Structure 1
Amino acid sequence: MTEPAGKTADSNKTGSALPAALEAAAQRRITTAVGRARRVLVWEAAWPRIVPILCLGGLFLVLSWLGLWPRMADPLRYVVLAAFGIAYVGLILHLARMPLPSRDEALARVARESAMEHRPATAFGDRLSQPSDDPLTQSLWRAHRLRLLERLDHLSAGLPSPGMNARDPYALRFLLPLVLVVAFLMAGPDRIDRIADAIRPAAAATEAPPRIDAWVTPPAYTSRPPIFLTGDAARPGSLDPNVPLKVPQGSVVTLRMPAEPDLAAHAVSTGGQPLVFDAAPPPKTQTDAPTPAEHKLTLSRDSALTVARGDRTLLSWSFAVTPDEPPKIELTREPSATQSGALSLGYSVSDDYGVMSAAAAISAPEAPAESGARPLVAAPELPLNLPRLRMREGNGETIRDLSAHPWAGAKVKMRLTATDEAGQTSESPTIEFTLPMRAFRNPIARAVVEQRRVLALDARKAPNVAMAIDAITLYPDKFKTNGPYLALRTAYHRLTGQPSDAELVETVDFLWQIALGIEDGDLSLAAQDLRAAQEALRKAIESNASDAELEKAMQDLREAMDKYLEALAQDAARNPQSANRQPMDPNTQVLRPEDLKKMMDQIENLAKTGSRDAAQQMLSQLQQMMENLEASRSQQGQDGQNGPMNQALDKLGEMIQRQQQLMDRTFKMDPDTDGSGAEAQPMSPEERQKALQELREGQQGLQKMLQELQQTMKQQGMQPDGKLGQADRSMGDAADQLGEGAPGQAVGPQGQALQALREGARSLADQMARQNGSATRQGGPMPGQDPLGRQQQGRGTDLGSTVKVPDAIDTQRAREILDMIRKRLGDPSRPLIERDYLERLLQKY
């Protein structure tokens, strides 16, 4: 066997017997295994030296976090710290003097952990004792080294085995981490300070930081949660001490800290003026333990609060107080009168946290010209309705019948006031207007009311009023019955002589009753009693009255309603010509006593179940219905002069209904809507085209009907509102979209046309009201409504004036829930915490 010349031949002579590339790869494997073995040997030698260092550090942290340093005397503490330092230095030097393992030790580790015969890592480094050119020797040597090379892939250094179990047979090294975790949790946020106590001077070390609790409680009406100034919630990152904390005006800062002589709290405003804490006596305790001092500060302006021990500041906070803005209230329209003579006010209110109450303050525009006048009756009080309690922003309406007040018909000043829960009050600009008064058709009734006003405004005019009443009763034959005549003579005798002011006030009321009896008989008196019962129920609901008081108020309302309906029927029987002047519309809904009873029952159920806002809203609807009924009675004599307008309103109501139907049908034709595929049958292209053509023709016919109505209105002297022209254009756009086969694009213009028709109808109704001589608010029914203000079947659509209130099913469910709560509350076997919760559920807010 011959060998190639050159390097291979030289290698064979030296004893390698392998090519240089294989020799280099084998050496890399051996070097890698030796490196791993060295690292393992280093870890096995270093870890037993590192564990004492870690344990000594953990022991230092345990002593610090348990707060033992401040309890040691200074010499002992210094000795312990010195012992810790010496031990640290010794352990670190012991670690530094650790010898590093040699290559032979690493090869021995590899041979031991690999557990292979002939120790391939060590044997691969062997060489022939003497170079030989014998082919057989060379072949055997090459085969031997190739077998070693194959085993080099399985070299292993093993896992470290420091032998800590032999050095620490009781595993005390595992107890220290457990104690360390417990001490860490006990130290809380003062961990760093407790570590620093080890090197602090004795004076500072003995003064452990006191336990201080501080929080801010915003006013309840702001609905904001308390803000904690201490504890985990106030750690760095949640409260920046350099940024003032924004709090509402009226917030209360509560500071609770130990009652120590050198521990004090100081509060100053941003201007540097000192602030006085609220008086807060410390709570009484049954033990002799020191009671923590509690300080409270009500924030009304930007302030800063500091807690200091001696000259050293422990805690400090600054507060930026957000002022509580006063409420705002203003009229949204001029004061007006309903057809029945009641005062109607529309207004808007707003507040940053909610308005609690509102009222209208009425006063005389100027002092009486004649000095020394002695009025018997003060100005009327007028509380205002709020849509809901603590309303932040919204509109309200109040209808109050002041026609019975002696000031009715007089020119007065009025300003609206609103009050929030903080007690702040604001006023609207003062306006002058004439209080609405009832229009008496009977001249005797008008004369009696006028004399009543004279007497109420000046008690000294009693003799003059007596003379006027005597003159009114000179001709008894002018009276239809003897009752009013005898009542006036009684009033005359009351005014003669020397009556007291109390008797004169009774006479003022008596004259009003006489005037009502002369005007309408029992009907006016019944209407007055009905309004009084409605007002009493409204006050009971607002004052959160008990169920018994609500039942009594509801019973009074039912009785007053029965008397009013009975008087209304008697008046219709006495004056059949007024009731039959115009034929009954077949679509008009009939108001039955059962309907009124059902509505009043629902008001009572809503009030008792806690839905007081909904009950008050429904009561307002009932009041509005009765006002509309009075308005319809007063408008019966004006139907002739308003005939064209009424016809136009009827036409608009019909068009509103037809436009709504067209829009519904068009919406169902749109293939992109979910509602079309659920109920409509599949349509062929021919059927769909025919349906779209019918819709287009219907829309065009409705547009032509609207154009004819506008032309008719112009011919009769009426001015159509611009909204009707807008409706005309929107109808044309919808017809064009239907002609192009795009029902989805036609729904939008149809909706715009529907809204414009509604607004045009309202504008026409207001125009008719102004021609009737009423104020800016029309008290009568709107188009598509019956005289009670309810929507008529087949007469237009809802114009958006209704308010959603709970129906009978909702109120019945609420009643069942309340009964179940009361039943569980009466069960003594239930836990106390559950009974407390149920009792809070029954509280009325």
Structure 2
Amino acid sequence: MVWERGARAFWPVATILACLFAAFALGIVAAVPPQALLWLAGMALVALIAAAIRGGLSYRRVRAVDAVERLDRTLPDRPLAALADRAAIGGEGALWQAHLAQMQARAAQARAVRPDAGLARRDPFALRLAGLVALAMALLFGGAAQMGQGVQAIAATVSRPLAGDTGTAVGPSWEGWAEPPAYTRRPTIYLNALPEGEVLELPRGSAVSFRLYGDGVTVTQGIGAAVGDDPRAPGFRADASGVIEVAGRRFDVTVLPDLAPLIRAGAAPVRRADGRLVQDFRAEDDHGVMAGRARIDLDLVAVDRRFGLAAPPEPREAVELALPLPRGGDRREVSGQLVEDLSRHPWANLPVTLVLEAVDGIDQTGAAAPMQMVLPGRRFFEPRAAALIELRRDLLWSRENAGRSAEILRAITWRPDGFIDQPLYLQLRGGVRVLESGPLSGEARDKLAEALWKAAIQLEDGGLADALERMKQAQEKLSEAIRNGASPDEIQRLMDELREATDAYTRMLAEQGERDPAERFTQNQGGQRITGDQIQQMMDEIQRLMNEGRMAEAQQLLEQFNRMMENLQVQQAQGGEGQQGQGNPSMNGLADTLRQQQQLSDEAFRDLQEQFGEGQLGQPSERGGEFADRQRQLREELGQQRGLLPGQGSDLGDQAGRQLDEAGRAMEDAEQALRDGDTGGALQRQADAIESMREGMRALSDMLGQQDRRQAGEGQEGQDGQQPEGQPGEGPRAGSDATTRDLRPMLDPLGRQMDGNGNMITLGDPLAEGADPSRRARDLLDEIRRRSGQRERPQDERDYLGRLLERF
């Protein structure tokens, strides 16, 4: 009842206050002309006072008798009032007692009364709801700055001198701001606070704005074009150095030049095993790079104009690719790597020109020197598939090649028995009919090119991609069933389905491996074969874990199995290209993962520094999710490399595996720390992962060195018919310097293998080697000295640091 009476009396006051707050917070007060602002403010004040007086007069205090009366009105026959009555005549006999008992029973049914202020009847136009909406809008979209401007506007209106008043005006007659472009990350300058005579330095494109309060105040300037047409709020853009004058105040403005961005390409573009283009780049700008792109044009002069390329090419637009840039942070110096799949482009495997461009905040463009290259594309080793891809290239080059392509396609499909499956044969013969049916339209040409691509993939892979996809789907279904706690029968059914899909996939791999002399499909990176027995053993182990109810372990082993089977498909593409570069493929893959991990750690550290500089340390990073996703991808790549690590069963091979397992666990902890916003903890775990990977690579390098020396020794024995030195079975003599020199690995003072053995740790990458030992030692000593001099550290810690200094 207190709330009801208060709401009835003071809802007009609350509505007026909500509207006034919204007018201030949304900047409505500051936008009202000064001539009308004073009148509106007075009317609002009068309305507020009148509503408050009306509410105070109409409000009545709630008494206990009022509450009883309110409750009694909700009950039949008013039992609370009846219980307070006394019999006027006849005394309080049995009838009277029965009446009281009846009233008591009805009074016992009393319940709390729902409040009802009746505002809908008192406010038929729903003004209270309009005030509530205005208040909500002000809380969502308003701000303290707008409220301050409104208060200043009212204060300036109230303090304006009256007519005939010759006194000094209170407050400034103008205000000015200079706002540099957002990409410069410079703060807004309040011109009134600028010392007299100080030169105003502004980046090009800065927005200069004024608000004029006094009559006769004008702004004259010579630095740029005007923006807006409000004489009370003039604005303009700073494009050239000059002078600004306002109300007798002079500002000398110097516009700082904005240099065009610079961009440089890294090493020559490379082609990954899956046919993707990989291009490193570095870009810089004085205020930050806003965008980047790569432009690829056909290098027609360098094209070998023979066969299907002899005809004039049809015009085709250049390829433009966006360069990956960090979402936030400092973009004055950025480095990245463009990875793009252009295997299906008509210019794939043809000479092209690559130009990298960078754009800054005012659309200035900087370009790197053009690079001549062959646009990477997928390589096809199956002769028929390679022929179809060449036909596809010729058709996309020019539709004048339609007749020639039809003849070649007829030759490919001649006598298909035993060479081409019937469905594929029918598709290719349909392509012949399309080519010979008449002029070829652009749409028909593109559809035929897509059909030729799919046919080449089918011939090259022999359905391998479909078999792999079926195996992935079966694995995903089984994983989901284990996570959701499905019934044993359902899990067993899905396990049988996975077995069938895996058998079909491995059988197809084996068939292609028998046809390929290079045996590129079944060999892993270390030269070891993944046999069907090993796959079957892994499937049996998954089955055993599920039968024992150890679903978590079965799920983990299932994920490892899936990564291993996917790696077979990766090796199918890698093996046909031979060994590119130096060193062992396992070392190359680990070095690449290590390099990416170091880059991710550096970016996370820079993000932490930015948080510290902005005073946001301890708050979740905006890029935490992005860093966590990249960390997960690196962990999965390391898991694939761990599954195909050579030398399993040997001491050094097992040691390398353990180190990589430690690195994987550290990566997983780092990923979780990044998702939790603990960037500092993530950096520590990333450092542990980097160190573990280095140790694992060193162990792998030692193992590969032993294998090379053993193979060299066996080769020498096979040529000479005897061992190199000493008696049979005794190995090399202790005194044989030549033999020792040949078989002993070249090690540096820290025990790391040096260049020349073909199994270098990093293949020229200093990340795997670690920092320079002498420099690292000096840095550690400097850090120990610094910490030992900090008095706030515990005495025990400083004593320990002192003992370290005495020893080293």
For the pair shown, which has the larger CA radius of gyration, 1 or 2?
Answer: 1
Normalising by structure 2, we get a TM-score of: 0.43
Normalising by structure 1, we get a TM-score of: 0.42
Higher relative contact order (CA 8 A, sep 6+): 1
